[in-house]
Amino acid sequence: MSLRQRVGIASAAVVALVVALALLTSYLAVRDELIGQIDKELRSQAALIIDRFHGDEPLPGMSASAGGSAPYFQSVFPNGALTLGPLRLPEVRQAEAVASGTASAYLTSVSAGGAHLRMYTFEVSGIYYDGQTAVAIQLARPLTEVDNALHRLKLLLALVFVAGVALAALLGRMAARRVLSPLAEVTATAQLIGETDDLSQRLSVRADDEVGQLAENFNAMLERLAASRGELDDSMRAQRQLVADASHELRTPITSLRTNIEVLLAGGELGKDDRQRLLSDVVEQTEELSTLVSDLIEVARGDLPSESLADTRLDAVAEESLARARRNSPEVEFVVKLQPVIVRGNGERLARAINNLLDNAVLHSGGGTVELSVDAGGVTVRDHGPGIADDDLPHVFDRFYRGASSRATQGSGLGLAIVRQVAELHGGSVSATNAADGGAVVTLNLPTSPV
């Protein structure tokens, strides 16, 4: 059963219950009013009897305008003696108790002689009739007209109930269709997205209510899903590109390494110098592979876990990287200017980025001078080499990109790509320019704060 049907049935059931209670209340009110009118006439005639009856004359009657006298009456004495009227009335025992003063007057509905009657039993005292000082009078009026009116009323109310429930069911179904149409749209859109994988679908927001809020939240969810899908697709493309580039870069040193090893294994008439040259090539190619694999691992590390971030002295990290560069390149002169600043980040990844900047500058400095500075803007490294070709400037931070001046030297083409990745992971950026008086200037921009 659909939600629309359930809502329609629930609405019809609620309306049916309300209508039934209203009709029942109306019926009881009308019945009490009709019977109350009969009771009022019986009490009025009883008041006349109590005021005027002396025991040896007919019962005083009411005028026709006041409803007339009760057609049925009966006198009951405390000893059980009866004075009968046109019809013998029941409940004589209770009437004896009323006559003897042990019970109060009462009204009740009875059946006598096949007729449905409304009977009032009350005491009349202070009279002398057959030696009795009190007597209970029973007055009765037929309820035929009341019963007929109530029967017609029940039929009418039953018809009203059936019509009301049918109308409620129809209106409930129409209201459910109107109210739930946005939910149907949500279902249709979700089904369409599931079938077509199209996250560009959106719902129409027709009202500022709960259903409208559902549509807005659904659209916002689709926006987030589309953004996540885009990021995932970009990540997958980047991963596929990384694998493809890595495969390409690994193929050359592995092929060369394998060839040299096969030549060494074949033996033959290799001279000592040739064997030594091949062994040196094997060592160099092994180091190149190790560097490439290390760079690939660094590139593939992805985002920084939040628990690895801490306030880090950027100048201290740069100083450690400088000490490493001086050990590895003692022939290069380093000009240093370090200002104490703090960056929120991962010291290990920052050190790797600064190491790559220094290694890149040493590689292109030709044994000259390398300048390193740390200030509120981040880290800047400058060499005094030939600089970067204008065609290469837009691509120096791309993975595996090697400019024309770098292709003859050993390297993976991942050093500056790692610098850019570290910068972005720390909320910063990188830039590369050529100095006016020669050499390349590479800047690692980072959000810093003073010590």
Q: How many domains does the chain have?
A: 3
Partners of 335 in beta bridges: 371
pLDDT averaged over every residue in the chain: 82
Q: What pLDDT does residue 298 have?
A: 65
> Which residue, of 150, 169, 194, is where some domain finishes?
150
One domain, residues 142 and 37: yes
Range of the domain at 109: 3-150
One domain, residues 8 and 120: yes
Report if residue 281 sits inside a domain: yes
Report if residue 222 sits inside a domain: yes
pTM: 0.46
Q: Which residues contact 11 (CB under 8 A, 6 or more apart)?
A: 168, 169, 171, 172, 175, 176
Report percent pLDDT > 70 for the chain.
Answer: 84
One domain, residues 320 and 284: no
Average pLDDT over residues 340-368: 88
Pairing of strands 333-338, 369-375: parallel
Report if residue 28 sits inside a domain: yes
Report if residue 245 sits inside a domain: yes
Q: Contact 367/340 with Cβ under 8 angstroms? A: no
One domain, residues 70 and 29: yes
| Highest mean pLDDT: which range of 56-65, 98-107, 360-369 | 98-107
One domain, residues 291 and 323: no
One domain, residues 284 and 380: no
Q: What pLDDT does residue 408 have?
A: 47
> Which residue, of 127, 150, 173, is where some domain finishes?
150
Which residue intervals of 267-346 are DSSP H helices? 272-300, 314-328
The token duo for 423 is 């910068």
**Confidence band for 411, pLDDT divided at 50, 70 and 90:** low
DSSP one-letter code for 59: P
Q: Where are the beta strands (DSSP E) in 113-248?
A: 115-129, 132-142
CATH code of residue 245: 1.10.287.130
The token duo for 111 is 């059946």
CATH code of residue 28: 3.30.450
Report if residue 319 sits inside a domain: yes
CA distance 307 to 242: 27
One domain, residues 288 and 416: no
Report if residue 292 sits inside a domain: yes
One domain, residues 311 and 233: no
Q: What pLDDT does residue 443 have?
A: 93
One domain, residues 280 and 315: no
CATH code of residue 383: 3.30.565.10
Q: With 60 as the cut, is the pLDDT of residue 306 above it?
A: no
Q: Contact 411/356 with Cβ under 8 angstroms? A: no
> Which residue, of 120, 150, 180, is where some domain finishes?
150
Q: What pLDDT does residue 210 have?
A: 72
| Highest mean pLDDT: which range of 94-103, 177-186, 224-233, 246-255 | 94-103
One domain, residues 311 and 293: no
Report if residue 156 sits inside a domain: no
One domain, residues 236 and 105: no
One domain, residues 313 and 445: yes
pLDDT (tens digit, 9 = 90+) per residue, 23-66? 999 999 999 999 999 999 999 989 888 887 766 667 777 776 66
Report if residue 137 sits inside a domain: yes
